[in-house]
A and B are shown apart, each in its own frame.
Chain A
Amino acid sequence: MSSPFSSPDKTSDAAMSRRNFLRGTAALGGLTALAASLSPLLELDDLTSTEKFLQKYYKEMTPDDMSKVIKRISNEVERQYGVRPHVRDLKPMDGVEFVYCLNLTRCIGCRKCVHACVNENNQSRNPEIQYIRVLKMPHGSMDVEKGNHTYDDKHVPDPGYFYMPIQCQQCHNPPCVKVCPVNATWQEKDGITVIDYDWCIGCRYCEAACPYWARRFNWTKPQIPKERLNPNMAYLGNRPRKQGVMEKCHFCIQRTRDGRYPACLEVCPVGARKFGNILDPNSEVSYILREKRVFIQLKEEMGTNPRFFYYFDK
C-alpha cells in the first residue's frame, strides 16, 4: 500500500493519470451501485403528478379547485375500477350535530356492522381494514382489556358475555386532531372528525394518540375488488384511499349528510344502533340521552367527551 503521506511521485504525471483513472472507475462504480440500489423504484406505478403533488389543502380550495379535484378523482377511480363514481364534497348541514347511541343490552356480537362498514366505505380487503372492532366482554366489566377481539363462536350471543362494538367516538375534544402536524384531520361543524386523505403525510401520530384505537393506516396499496366498489362517494368520506395515509370512521358522511343512516346502523339485525341529530329535541338520540338513567362515554376519564354513547335497556 502506498504511503498516505505526500511524497514527490504523487505529483508525477504517471501517478496522476493512474489516480484519475482510479477515481473515474470509483465514481462510475459508485453511480452504478446507486442506480442498482434504486432499481425497485421502477415499479412505482402510482407516480405523483404535478397536479396531485401541488393539490391544495381542503380548506383552502375554491369550489372551482374542488370540482377539478373531484373530476380527477372520478377519472382515477374509473381507470382503476372501471366504474364511474359519483363523488361529492358534502358539507355539514346547519343545525345538525350527529350523535351515536349503542344499546349494549341488545348487541349480540354478530359483526354484521363491521362488514357493512367495509362494504360501504370502500375499505381495503387485502390487507383488511375495518373501522369497527367488536369486543366480547365478560359479564359485568367495562374494562376493554378483558375483551376478546378474535372470538369465533358458531353462535352468538354467548351466555355470560356481552358485546361492545367500538369505532371512532367522534370526540368533542379529539386527541387525534390536536396532534396532527399538518392539520390533515379536523372536526367538522356537525361533530364528525374527518381526514383529507390527500393532505395526510402518514406520520401516524394520530394513531398513537387515539385512546379508542379508531384510526387505521394504509400500510400498502389498498385492494378492493372492482365489483365491490361503492360508487357513491364523498371527498372526506369513502372515496378510495391511497397507500401511506390514515383513514377512520366518519359516520358515513356520504350517507348521513344526505339524510340517510350510517351503514352499520341499517344492517344491525337487533336495532342496537341509534343515530341522529342531538340538536333536534325530537330525535331518537335526544330521547335516549334524556330518558336513560345510565349511559356511558367510553374512557370518560380521558376528557375526550365522545359523541358516541353506550346505554342499557335494563
Chain B
Amino acid sequence: MITAARNYLVFLRRCARIAFVGDWRYYAWMGGLTIVILFGINAYAKQLVDGLIVTGMSDEVSWGVYIANFTFLVGVAAAAVMMVIPVYIYDNEELHDLVIFGELLAVAAILMCLSFVTVDLGRPDRFWHLIPGLGQLNFPRSMLSWDVIVLNGYLLLNVHICGYLLYCRYQDKKPSKWFYIPFVFIAIVWAISIHTVTAFLYVGLGGRPFWNASIVGPRFLASAFTAGPAIIILALQVIRSYTNYRITDKALLTLRGIVQVSMIINVFLLVCEIFKEFYSGTTHGVSAKYLFVGLHGHHALVPWIWTAIGFNLIAMVILVLPVSRSLKYLNVACALCIVGIWIEKGMGLVIPGFIPTPLGAFVEYLPSLNETLVCLGIWAFGLLCYTVFLRMAVPILQGRLAKANEGQPEIQGDEPASVAPVSPATH
C-alpha cells in the first residue's frame, strides 16, 4: 500500500517535472502563454475591485463574451466523445491510440469553462453557496445547478479515464477493463448531456423567444461536433509535427468524416431556424431580425453573423469536396469551422437573445478591452493546460517516461524519431 502510494507520488512528481523541461520552442510557447495569462489575471484583478462594470455588459445585455466562450467550450469538451464513439463502439483502429488526446482536450476545455463562469460571477467569493451540503444548490429546478453537476462530473470522469490509462502505461501494466470501460461509456452519455444541459440553460427561458426554441439543443450538438473534432484535427497535426508520436493521415480523415457530416447537419438546422423566424413574421422573430439584418438602426451583430455563416458555408463546401482529403484544404476548412462556430455561439446566440430586452429596448453590446484580456488569459490558460497534459502524456505513451526508467536522468526533450523506442502497444 505504502509502495503503491510512493510509486504514484513519484509518477506525479516526474510528470510535474517534465512539464518544466523542453526545447526552446517549448519554453517560448509556454512563456508567451504565461505572459498572456498574467495580463488576464491583471484584468481580472481590476474587475474584482471595480466590479463587472469594467465589462461591456449592462442590465440590458447581462451576459457577454464570458458566457459565450463558456458555451462554445462546453461544446469542445463534449466533442471529445466523437473520438471515443468510433473507438469504443465501432472499434476504429486508427483513432485508438489518439482517443486520449481528445479526452485531455476535454479536460482542458472544462477547466476553461469553469474559469469562464467564475469570472462571470459578481460574487466569486460566495462560490461555496453552490456546494451541496454546505450551500444551497437549487437542484433539480435550476438548469444552472444541473450544469454545475454535469460539468464537474465530466471533468472527474475524464481526469479518471486519462489518469488511469496513463498511469497504467507508465507502469507498463495492462489496464483493468473494469476500471475504465464503464467510465468510458458513462462519459459518452455524459458528454451529450453537458451540451444538452447547457443548451437547456437558454431554452428554458420563456421570456427570451430567441432562445426558447427546441432547435437550440440539436444545433448546439451539431455545431459542437463540428468545431470540436476540427480542433482535434488541428491539435493532432501539431502533436505530430512537434513530437515523434505516430498519427496517421487516415486517422485525421476519419475525423474529417465527422466534421463533414456535423457541419451539413449544422447548416441544415440553421436553415430551419431562419425559416421559422422569418417566414411566419411573428413578433417573436425580432431578435433574429436584429441579428441577421439589423433593426431600428441597430445592426452591430450583422457583420458577425454573416461572417459566421460565410465561414460555415465555405467550410462545408470544402469539406464536402474531395479536395479536403488533402490536409492543406482540410486545415483551412477546420479553421473556418472553428471561427464560424465560435461566432455563432457568442455573437450569434448569447448576445442577440438579450436584444431587444423583454421590454423592447435596443441596447447593443461590445466587449470591453478588460473583458477581452480576461478572455484571452483564460484561453491561454487552457492552451497551457493542454500543452502540459500533452507534454506528460506523449512520453508516457511512447514508453519514454516509465516506471522502468525511474531514477535515470530525466528526458529533456523529444528525441529524434530514430532513437525513440517503439511504443509498446498495450490497451
User: Are B206 and A200 in touch, CB under 8 angstroms?
Assistant: no
Nearest-Cβ distance from residue B174 to partner chain A, whole angstroms: 30
Does B314 make an interface contact (CB < 8 A)? no
Instruction: Indicate if the CB atoms of B358 and A213 lie closer than 8 Å.
Output: yes
Which residues from chain A contact B129 at a C-beta distance below 8 Å?
57, 182, 184, 199, 201
Q: Give the complex CA separation of A166 and B57 in angstroms.
A: 22
Per-residue CB proximity of A101-137 to B under 8 Å, as 1/0? Answer: 0000000000000000000000000010000010100
Q: Are B130 and A182 in contact (CB under 8 A)?
A: yes
Q: Judge whether A180 is part of the interface by a CB distance below 8 angstroms.
A: yes
User: Would you call B142 and A38 a contact (CB within 8 A)?
Assistant: no
For A, the interface residue count at a CB cutoff of 8 angstroms equals: 68
Interface: A4 (CB within 8 A): yes
Residue A24 interfacial (CB < 8 Å)? no
Segment from A41-49, A84-92, A151-159, A287-295 that makes contact with B: A41-49
Residue of A nearest to B415 (CB): A5
Q: Residue-by-residue, is A1-24 near B (CB-CB < 8 Å gives 1, otherwise 0)? A: 100111000110000000000000
Q: How many A-B residue pairs have C-beta atoms within 8 angstroms? Tell me.
A: 196
What is the CB-to-nearest-CB distance from B356 to chain A, in angstroms, rounded to a whole number? 6
Q: Do the beta carbons of B206 and A211 come within 8 Å of each other?
A: yes
- Greatest chain A CB density within 10 A among B35, B359, B414 is at B359
Report, as a range, how many residues of chain B touch the other chain.
35 or more
- Is A146 within 8 A of B62, CB to CB? no
The answer to whether B24 and A4 touch across the interface, beta carbons within 8 angstroms, is yes
Any B CB within 8 A of the CB of A212: yes
Chain A interface SS verdict (over half): loop
**Residues of chain A with a CB closer than 8 A to B416's CB:** 5
Residue A302, interface by CB 8 Å: yes
Q: Within 8 Å CB of B138, what residues of A?
A: 180-183
Whole-angstrom CA separation of A202 from B124 in the bound complex: 8
B310 at interface by CB-CB < 8 Å: no
Whether the pair B360, A210 counts as a contact (CB closer than 8 A) is no
Tell me, in angstroms, the Cα distance from A127 to B60 when the chains sit together. 14
Other A-B pairs, 11, CB within 8 Å; known A4-B23, A145-B356, A201-B129: A38-B41, A145-B360, A149-B359, A149-B360, A181-B145, A201-B122, A201-B127, A202-B122, A204-B120, A212-B207, A302-B206
Q: List 8 A-B contacts (CB under 8 A).
A: A38-B42, A41-B45, A135-B359, A146-B360, A182-B130, A182-B136, A200-B122, A210-B207
Point out residues on B near A: beta carbons under 8 Å.
Answer: 22-24, 26, 34-35, 38-39, 41-42, 45-46, 48-53, 57-60, 62-63, 117, 120-127, 129-130, 135-138, 141-145, 148, 201, 204-208, 283, 286, 353-354, 356-361, 409, 411-416
For the complex of A and B, list the 7 residue pairs with the smallest distance between their C-beta atoms, beginning with the closest: A202-B122, A211-B207, A4-B23, A244-B122, A4-B413, A145-B360, A220-B51
